[in-house]
Structure 1
Amino acid sequence: MIFETDRCLLTSFQKSDVIDVRQLYVNQEVREFLGGIRNDDSIEASVVGMLHPKADCYYWVVREKQTDSFIGLVSLDPHHEGVELELSYQFLPEWWGKGYAKEVLREIIAYALTDLHVAKVIAETQTANKSSCKLLEKLGMKEERTLVRFGKEQVIYLIRSS
């Protein structure tokens, strides 16, 4: 499955993307609010899961159209707590603050609500991750609740189909 935005191309995760995606899992800035740098076994397990996704699990690699440069990874998969689809994303720091995440995530939210016909999409982030909270709010997501998970306060955002 391929998506195209003004500046980005999103393609389903492939084995050829492993080296690029690994950059996300070992980058301290990227992993600051995501549980820290992942070890090789954990990265391998994630890769296997992305290469052979379960039903209702979608993983896209994000690249800049003009240069084919790797930007990050976006996913939709069932949330820890239930059946709602959770929007997750990781982008390399050099792409932060330039509107790429907003552009890409808007497309994926629309896909989930319109094409997959889900009633709502949720996203979970640490309350300390102010940039991520602000991004989700700019996308029209509303704070649903806070909780403690992984030893940190998290906020769950949601957006409903109209």
Structure 2
Amino acid sequence: MPTIHTDRLTLRELAAGDAGFILELLNEPGFLGGIGDRGVRDLDGALRYIHDGPAASYARHGFGLWRVELREGGEPIGLCGLLRRDTLPDPDLGYAFLQRHWQRGYAVEAGEAVLRYAGATLALPRVLAIVNPDNASSIKVLERLGMRAQGTIRHGTENRDVRLYATAEVDAGADAAPA
């Protein structure tokens, strides 16, 4: 998968060296409450998460969650990318950011780049997103990305109701072309 650059961010594949960052992100209260507990409690667990999740997705589908870092300085601040779930008919947009980087527009900027990549490079006609119905901040991000609510579904792996969002058609603009 290519590296993607936006004005402020770089999105790239996760690697073993990102285990410390993944350990921190997956154990933040915002991640645990908004996304769920992935059971990652140490660096070995973070390495397994990278290997069995994003790295396996890159190999199997040609996409996955990318590490999002600040272009200036390279500090990792979150994840954003595409997931392929057996419970959804199309790939879905996923993102999570360290809480100290919330409310700065990074989720929208990274999400726009991923949606452009989905349309221009992967030729995906539609991208979905699922969100906890009480996660107002994440719903706002999806709406700013131009995604529209499709209703509520029971998400199989989480066994909870989530709101489903979808793009009408992915924007294939070239603003965040792969480097």
User: TM-score, normalising length from structure 2?
Assistant: 0.82
Identity %: 24
What are the equivalent positions in structure 2 for 1:46-61 lying under 5 Å apart? Answer: 46-49=49-52, 50-53=54-57, 54-61=60-67
Q: Is the 8 A contact 2:70 2:76 kept in 1?
A: yes
Q: Is the 8 A contact 1:22 1:43 kept in 2?
A: yes
Between stretches 112-121 and 49-58, larger displacement belongs to 49-58
5+ residue gaps, structure 2, are 171-179
Q: Distance in 2 between matches of 1:36 and 1:51?
A: 19
Residue 104 in structure 1 maps to residue 105 in structure 2: no
Residue 74 in structure 1 maps to residue 80 in structure 2: yes
Question: Normalized per residue, which structure has more strand?
Answer: 1
Give per-residue Cα distances to partners, 1:53-103, cap 9 Å, x unaligned: 322432210111112111101121213324411110110001111101111
Alignment length, in residue pairs? 162
CA RMSD of aligned residues (A): 1.9
> Counterpart in 2 of 1:152?
160
Q: Distance in 1 between matches of 2:120 and 2:169?
A: 8
> Counterpart in 2 of 1:20?
21
Paired amino acid for 2:35: L
Paired amino acid for 2:19: V
User: TM-score, normalising length from structure 1?
Assistant: 0.90
Structure 1 segments of 4+ aligned residues over 6 angstroms from their partners: none
5+ residue gaps, structure 1, are none
Instruction: Report 1 or 2 for greater relative contact order, CA contacts < 8 Å, sequence distance ≥ 6.
Output: 2
Deviation (angstroms), 1:115: 1.4
